[in-house]
């Protein structure tokens, strides 16, 4: 990435548990964050995302590797001198202070003039719709309001890098959606370079310029949300982002323009991947649940037996069984048009060619 404000270079963090056991929480992790971008570190618990963020903030020391902010190596610089601000999962507010006192705290520590503090507090509260609550105790605010106060306190100091440590995990689903939209809009309006940590895939995909997927301390894939969803780099990413069916196939023909794949006795021709695979190579075909049509059996690429249906109103999610016993998840929108198919019915499955992705078989 050009014009990188944040850089992780070959970062390693090892925690010692007792005299003999070591845990490699971050393992040769490298990543760059462009100026003004929001990059989300996404992955399951224990993947190293929070540890990487804490090293960037200065709350943890790296075992090896380097962290740069705006070209300066900051490994040995204390947190208060790194020009970063953190929005914490627990908000980190002072319960005995008012909204204004909490927001102004960082400026008071920096000995900013009182008049400027008043102006800047008013400005940031206006950005998040909290004008009029300056004198209210933060203990009397809702969870969503407290999170907005925490956000104001983080941005009022005009940091070079804004850090988010799972900031929405304590909010209910409705508040989480509205707050993440507000965070994204505010980040874009202010143009603050941001690093965001979450385990929530929908959250990461909806607010990020780039999504960095981690597993076992390593970076698995970095890309825009659409890319990591539609073109996952490996089986882990495919299975972690959204829901994926991974169907076994064998390459039967290949050329510079595309491939043909044998799948349960059918031939699937794709006009891409031709330079990535060889004849007779075993592969996994990534099939998203929404990337299929249920058709009459003779018209399908493969056949399946409906095992279970889950009706939600706007969609029906079917669990189907293929001829080798593998389960297939299929999502059908607008069930009012066709109704809900019964368990035990044999149907045809037509695969949307442009939505399929092919990976080399692992293991």
Q: How confident is the model at residue 2 (pLDDT cuts 50, 70, 90)?
A: low
pLDDT tens, residue by residue, 281-338:
999 999 999 999 999 988 999 999 999 999 988 899 999 999 999 999 999 998 888 7
Q: Which residues of 323-355 are buried (b: 16+ CB within 10 A; e: fewer)?
A: eeeeebbbbbeebeeeeebeeeeebbbebeeee
* Domain ranges within the chain, ordered by starting residue: 4-238, 244-360
Check for a shared fold between 4-238 and 244-360.
Answer: no
- Architecture per CATH, 4-238: 3-Layer(aba) Sandwich (3.40)
Assess whether pLDDT exceeds 80 at residue 1: no
Assess whether pLDDT exceeds 70 at residue 18: no
CA–CA gap between residue 148 and residue 103 (Å, rounded): 10
pLDDT at 4: 93
pLDDT at 178: 84
CA–CA gap between residue 286 and residue 68 (Å, rounded): 37
The token duo for 361 is 């078989």
Comparing 15-19, 116-120, 157-161, 320-324, the range with the smallest average pLDDT is 15-19
Percent of the chain with pLDDT over 90: 77
The token duo for 40 is 């989300």
pLDDT tens, residue by residue, 154-213:
999 999 999 999 988 888 888 888 888 888 998 999 999 999 999 999 999 999 999 999
Ordered DSSP codes for 24-45: EEEEEEEEEEETT-EEEEE-ST
| Contact status, residue 26 vs residue 41, Cβ threshold 8 Å | no
Third-level CATH fold of 244-360: OB fold (Dihydrolipoamide Acetyltransferase, E2P) (2.40.50)
Comparing 43-47, 49-53, 89-93, 298-302, the range with the smallest average pLDDT is 89-93
């Amino acid at each position: 990435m050009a014009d990188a404000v944040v850089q992780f270079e070959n970062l390693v963090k090892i925690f010692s548990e007792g005299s003999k056991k070591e845990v490699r929480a971050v393992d040769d992790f490298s990543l760059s964050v462009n100026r003004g971008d929001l990059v989300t570190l996404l992955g399951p618990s224990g993947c190293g995302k929070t540890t990487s963020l804490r090293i960037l903030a200065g709350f943890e020391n790296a075992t090896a590797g380097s962290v740069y902010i705006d070209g300066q190596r900051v490994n040995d610089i204390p947190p208060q001198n790194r020009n970063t601000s953190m929005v914490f999962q627990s908000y980190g507010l002072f319960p005995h202070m008012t909204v204004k006192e909490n927001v102004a705290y960082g400026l008071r520590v920096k000995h900013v003039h009182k008049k400027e503090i008043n102006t800047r507090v008013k400005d940031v509260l206006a950005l998040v719709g909290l004008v009029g609550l300056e004198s209210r105790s933060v203990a009397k605010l809702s969870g969503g309001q407290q999170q907005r106060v925490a956000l104001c306190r983080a941005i009022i100091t005009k940091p070079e890098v804004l850090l988010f440590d799972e900031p929405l995990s304590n909010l209910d689903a409705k508040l989480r959606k509205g707050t993440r939209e507000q965070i994204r809009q505010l980040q874009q309006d202010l143009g603050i370079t941001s690093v965001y940590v979450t385990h929530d895939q929908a959250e990461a995909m909806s607010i990020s310029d780039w999504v960095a997927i981690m597993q076992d301390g390593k970076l698995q894939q970095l890309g825009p949300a659409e890319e990591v969803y539609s073109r996952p780099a490996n089986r882990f990413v495919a299975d972690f982002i959204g829901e994926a069916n991974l169907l076994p196939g064998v390459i039967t023909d290949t050329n510079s323009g595309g491939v043909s794949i044998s799948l349960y006795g059918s031939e699937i021709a794709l006009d891409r991947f031709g330079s990535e695979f060889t004849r007779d190579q075993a592969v996994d075909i990534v099939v998203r649940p929404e990337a299929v049509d249920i058709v009459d059996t003779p018209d399908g690429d493969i056949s399946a037996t409906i095992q279970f249906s889950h009706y939600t109103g706007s969609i029906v999610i079917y669990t189907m069984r293929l001829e080798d016993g593998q389960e297939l998840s299929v999502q059908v929108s607008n069930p009012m048009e066709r109704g809900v198919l019964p368990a035990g019915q044999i149907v045809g499955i037509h695969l949307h060619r442009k939505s399929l992705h092919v990976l080399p078989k692992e293991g």
